[in-house]
Structure 1
């Protein structure tokens, strides 16, 4: 039942065992206040407003970005992405709720906006960012690490996250550790305008993803024994499934996903493969229920681990 799953998720957050995984759909919670693209379709429309792209790829984000990169240079793509995601938006209440969780070892953000960064800025505990970067711009490197103040680090802090404790212990030298890591596999406008968006960007990642090279070592450590909560994500497209699969690899034996409405065959297969418990609610209703501000959750059809 949805109510039971929400209680289960809340308990997992209390124990530091749940990892939010935010897709572009989370931006829909901002309603009319959302001023940035909230879906791949909306983003590709923005990118092709000022660039002539063949009709057959105008609705394909990665292909359109690749065409612009090939014929107008990578900097044109980067500038268009930055323009699309430059904003003065405030985080939604749900962003703030997740960022304020006392035990939040990892927050995965698979889109390009900066609302999670803004929400985490209010945390009193130290936090940092691991961000995917393009091989086109940073050949030979997969990840950049940043302090919460946007300082670029040569390496991640030598922190050790474990299931037993969300906050890593201080070493004798008292080097600052991160209690929370924001992982952005696709990059983001903040803090340094890194974006993985073109075909070339993802082909480079795909050559290494099975052996986990592009996934930061701290993420591989934190996820052990923990459950992912997929929010604002759909799994109908191969690339979306790939990221969710590889980021959650070698974690716990089940997860959750808020997926309202009819599911595609690919989504159903993916839920079964990853043993994801589906919550058939709108994200708005789920967020209100989880935060405790919504009406009592109505009992719905049973949510099965096989993606019912």
Structure 2
């Protein structure tokens, strides 16, 4: 990453014109405080954790939602919710460096497609709005819940009650806190993406706020359709170019896709970004 590009992106982030969009790769350095094992966040690691450390059939190992659907059919939907709640809501993890960086400056809007609580923990000392994706519910056509955090507790609100002065944390794939809601299996994704495309998975106030915003994709690979379909609708109405995706050694598929939607690929990973913002092991910024 050149110094000029780094400065451009960083200025946009700190001016809240560029929105951080967090994928599984941002949790690469988070580990279990007791065992030292890495937090399962990537598709493969989640499948292994969900299946007692054992790989599943190759066609199921292709993607976590597919494997999750298989086990949901065998063991019920509650099994997935219990697994994700135990993993992310009951296990103590070390802090990921990317969240230390975010906590230091607290952007006005962050999108996090992981299911852990570290982003929420970064805002635990101030009021904020939390939007959580939900799927396969019958009580409403909407596929989100909105919570206000008052500095101590979350409580559910309507979008008419949202304070526009507060930062917004968007967790489309769910979180165990304040109550467990997750988008995990293929069936969840089909339902969520359908309503996302129809405009029912993002509150109206956020649709207005996101206009002309650009994005910095951190730790998100773009080889899989589920991630791409969720992302494409979440960033709708963005600026030009759409933003930058930090992808180390991008595949031809990722290169073609990013070119198609107007994303610039930066051949770097989260560790490289942490180095240049001063939260890594060393500075790797080169002119």
TM-score tier after normalising by the smaller chain length: 0.7 to 0.9
Name the stretch that deviates more: 286-295 or 270-279: 286-295
1:231 matched to 2:218? yes
Whether 1:146 and 2:147 are equivalent positions in the alignment is: yes
Give the distance between the partners of 1:107 and 1:76, measured in 2 at CA: 29
Q: Decide which of 100, 114, 123 is 2:117's aligned counterpart.
A: 114
Please tell me the root mean square deviation across aligned C-alpha atoms, in Å: 2.6
- Aligned equivalents of 1:68, 1:31: Cα separation in 2: 25
* Equivalent residue, structure 1, for 2:134: 133
- Report the alpha carbon displacement of residue 56 of structure 1 after superposing the two structures with TM: 4.2
CA distance in 1, matches of 2:75, 2:123: 36
Residue equivalent to 1:306: none
C-alpha deviations, 1:203-230, integer Å up to 9, x for none? 1123233232212323312211211110
Within a 5 Å distance, the mapping from 1:28-107 to structure 2 comes to 28-30=28-30, 35-49=38-52, 56-85=59-88, 86-101=90-105, 104-107=107-110
User: Where does 1:1-308 land on structure 2 (aligned, <5 Å)?
Assistant: 2-30=2-30, 35-49=38-52, 56-85=59-88, 86-101=90-105, 104-122=107-125, 124=126, 126-136=127-137, 140-148=141-149, 149-159=152-162, 176-254=163-241, 255-261=243-249, 263-291=250-278, 294-295=282-283, 297-299=285-287
Give the unaligned 5+ runs of structure 1.
160-175, 300-308
Residues 216/292 of structure 1: CA separation in 2 closer, same or farther (3 Å cut) = same
Distance 2:247 2:13 in 1: 20
Aligned residues: 279
CA contact (8 A) 1:90 1:115 kept: no
Give TM-score, length-normalised by structure 2.
0.87
Show structure 1 runs of 4+ deviating over 4 A.
Answer: 31-35, 50-56, 136-139
1:304 — aligned with what? none
2:53 and 2:94 map into 1 onto residues whose CA distance is 27
CA distance in structure 2 between the partners assigned to 1:150 and 1:250 by the alignment: 33
What per-residue deviation string (whole Å, max 9, x for no partner) do you get for residues 170-192 of structure 1?
Answer: xxxxxx55421000111112221
TM-score normalized by the length of structure 1: 0.81
When residues 136 and 42 of structure 1 are mapped into structure 2, their CA distance, relative to the original with a 3 A threshold, is farther
Cα distance between partner residues in 1 of 2:37 and 2:164? 33
